[in-house]
């Protein structure tokens, strides 16, 4: 099982406002795919500042937003006052047994204790409900895109979701995966603001962090100078997994 770095896991609350301003949401196609047919009540677990919550509310869903960090939850409360808010970890959901049609976790499953979280998901899901996971991941197709993400072209391998896996402990039922391509159009400063909220960057000592951000800025500015455009287009994939407990795969 992937080891969780507690310092990095706690880093997001210190950057809650910056995180909300800088991070992207999720493609509509991915959100639609994650939701089971007829879903009405959905738990957005490890909801952060609500980057997914807004998409769910826009679909007319009742959203139970669960987030352990108070600073992140405060931003979510301001952005999405119609969501029902709960400050709690995913491993101890303050939700009724069989009370939701779906549990969604965006960009956060890797921060959870997967076996404990899976047990809680099973408890709160109604029959026929499902767990949906989504991650926005880089999909670089060029040297400059790799450099913008700080990826080594000699060693970088595109991530893939594979089950079974210690971090995806779904013993029974149906597991499906899907990927959705999307492109993020940003200025150099918008990209740097997003990079600065990544836990691997924000927890660096200040001199190292500033040097890294300067390198990334130079890459993106070099691209804008080469194209003459004020923005760059960074290709991404939304990697999705949907698990329906108690349904035999066929």
Domain boundaries, the chain: 6-136+157-181+231-244
User: What average pLDDT does range 89-100 have in this prediction?
Assistant: 98
User: What average pLDDT does range 211-220 have in this prediction?
Assistant: 96
Given a contact cutoff of 8 angstroms between Cβ atoms, the answer to whether 75 and 49 are in contact is yes
Assigned superfamily of 6-136+157-181+231-244 = Vaccinia Virus protein VP39 (3.40.50.150)
User: 15 pLDDT band (50/70/90 cuts)?
Assistant: confident
User: What average pLDDT does range 47-68 have in this prediction?
Assistant: 98
Lowest average pLDDT, out of 9-13, 57-61, 136-140, 194-198, goes to 9-13
Gap between the Cα atoms of 135 and 177, Å rounded: 12
Number of residues assigned to the chain:
250
Given a contact cutoff of 8 angstroms between Cβ atoms, the answer to whether 199 and 11 are in contact is yes
What element of type H or E holds 127?
strand 125-138
Whole-number average pLDDT of the chain: 92
Predicted pLDDT of residue 248: 43
User: 250 pLDDT band (50/70/90 cuts)?
Assistant: very low
User: 10 pLDDT band (50/70/90 cuts)?
Assistant: low
Predicted pLDDT of residue 164: 60
145-203 pLDDT per residue, tens: 999 999 999 999 988 876 666 777 887 899 999 999 999 999 999 999 999 999 899 99
Gap between the Cα atoms of 86 and 228, Å rounded: 47
Residue 12 in this model has a pLDDT that exceeds 80: no
Distances (CA, A) of 185 to 105, 127, 230, 236: 24, 40, 10, 11
- Determine the straight-line distance between the first and last CA of the chain, rounded to whole angstroms: 28
Closest CA to 136 of 45, 69, 234, 220: 234
Distances (CA, A) of 110 to 88, 117, 178, 202: 17, 11, 18, 18
pTM: 0.91
Gap between the Cα atoms of 175 and 243, Å rounded: 5
Predicted pLDDT of residue 108: 94
Map tokens 């660096």 to a residue: 204
Cis peptide before 164 (omega within 30 of 0): yes
């Amino acid at each position: 099982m992937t080891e969780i770095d507690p310092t990095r896991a706690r880093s997001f609350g210190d950057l809650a406002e910056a995180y909300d301003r800088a991070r992207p949401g999720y493609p509509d196609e991915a959100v639609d795919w994650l939701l089971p047919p007829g879903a009405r009540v959905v738990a957005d677990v490890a909801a952060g500042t609500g980057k997914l919550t807004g998409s769910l509310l826009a679909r007319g869903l009742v959203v139970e937003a669960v987030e352990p960090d108070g600073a992140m939850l405060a931003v979510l409360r301001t952005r999405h006052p119609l969501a029902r808010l709960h400050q709690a970890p995913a491993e101890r959901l303050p939700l009724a047994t069989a009370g939701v049609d779906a549990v969604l976790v965006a960009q956060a499953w890797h921060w959870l204790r997967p076996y404990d979280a899976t047990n809680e998901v099973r408890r709160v899901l109604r029959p026929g409900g499902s767990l949906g996971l989504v991650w926005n991941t880089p999909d670089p197709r060029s040297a400059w895109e790799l450099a913008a993400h700080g990826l080594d072209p000699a060693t970088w391998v595109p991530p893939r979701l594979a089950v079974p896996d210690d971090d995806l402990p779904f013993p029974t039922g149906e597991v499906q995966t899907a990927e959705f391509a999307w492109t993020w159009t940003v200025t150099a400063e918008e990209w740097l603001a997003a990079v600065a909220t990544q836990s691997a960057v924000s927890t660096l000592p200040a001199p190292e962090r500033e040097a890294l951000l300067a390198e990334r800025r130079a890459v993106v500015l070099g691209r804008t100078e080469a194209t003459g455009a004020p923005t760059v287009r960074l290709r991404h994939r939304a990697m999705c997994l949907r698990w329906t407990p108690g349904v035999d795969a066929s």
